[in-house]
Amino acid sequence: MNSLYYQAKFLLSAPELTLAPTDIGREIAFAGRSNAGKSSALNTLTNQKSLARISKTPGRTQLLNFFTLNDEQHRFVDLPGYGYAKVPVAIKQKWQRLMETYLSERQSLYGIILVMDIRHPLTEFDQQMIEWCNYSQKPLHILLTKADKLNYGAAKNILLSVQRELKNSDMPISLQLFSALKKSGVDEIHQRLDEWFQAPSTY
């Protein structure tokens, strides 16, 4: 299904859930702390240079950004980055409410790709997302991004450490190393996305 992801196109940005696309089909959402490499990961797995905007200023993703694949029944959603942006507290709170509303009310949401900088895994935000996935029983796949910043042995040790940290989770959590710069880990995430998009509906 690789070609499916290469066909990804920007659909729309929504400042609130009421302006999102019709709640049908299946969505996979990408979440992550600002500057964890979420936009770069989206661009790399879709083999596009600028599908998701990459900013030198972390935290510029302030809306729910929807991307359609081969049809409007299959979508990616880029959630607002959180925790780093130098913006007023009120705006951060608005972003958080938007994200919480989406996560709790969106019926077409199937699973979450949680993007973590391998050098700073399991932040407070990451833990909140993991707890939410446990609570809602949504599948969770973790991308440990920027793996090229470490040698393979060190990166593998962090992967194993995060696995141990999450082993008592109430639901299966998968994770992998990923590098947008080296384009490593792309086949692995494609395989996970294939499984999710093809899985029987549970609602």
> What CATH number does the domain located at 2-198 have?
3.40.50.300
Q: Residue range 183-202: average pLDDT? A: 92
Burial (CB count within 10 angstroms: exposed 0-12, middle 13-18, buried 19+), residue 79: buried
The span from the CA of 31 to the CA of 49, in Å, is 19
What are the pLDDT digits (tens) for 120-142?
999 988 998 999 888 888 999 99
Measured CA to CA in angstroms, residue 162 lies from 50, 113, 118, 127, 176 at distances of 30, 15, 10, 11, 10
Share above pLDDT 90 across residues of the chain, in percent, rounded to a whole number = 65
Work out the mean pLDDT of the chain and round it to a whole number.
89
The confidence score (pLDDT) of residue 33 equals 87
Q: What is the DSSP string of 85-122?
A: ----HHHHHHHHHHHHHHHHH-TTEEEEEEEEETTS-S
The confidence score (pLDDT) of residue 93 equals 79
β pairing state of 74-78 and 109-117: unpaired
Tokens of 85: 């942006």
Regarding predicted confidence, which is higher, 5 or 60? 5
Measured CA to CA in angstroms, residue 9 lies from 4, 76, 160 at distances of 11, 10, 35
Listed by start position, the domains of the chain span 2-198
Instruction: Answer whether residue 21 shows pLDDT above 60.
Output: yes
Q: What is the end-to-end Cα distance of the chain in Å, rounded?
A: 23
What are the pLDDT digits (tens) for 49-105?
989 875 554 445 678 999 999 887 899 999 987 765 566 777 777 878 888 899 999
Measured CA to CA in angstroms, residue 7 lies from 4, 38, 155, 159 at distances of 5, 19, 31, 30
Tokens 């490499």, located at residue = 37
The confidence score (pLDDT) of residue 85 equals 56
Tokens 């302006």, located at residue = 19
Q: Give the pLDDT band of residue 182 (cuts 50, 70, 90).
A: very high
Residues found in the chain: 203
Measured CA to CA in angstroms, residue 102 lies from 9, 65, 147 at distances of 21, 12, 29
Tokens of 176: 């992998």
Are 126 and 116 in contact by the 8 Å Cβ rule? The answer is: yes
Residues pairing with 37 in the sheet: none
The confidence score (pLDDT) of residue 9 equals 94
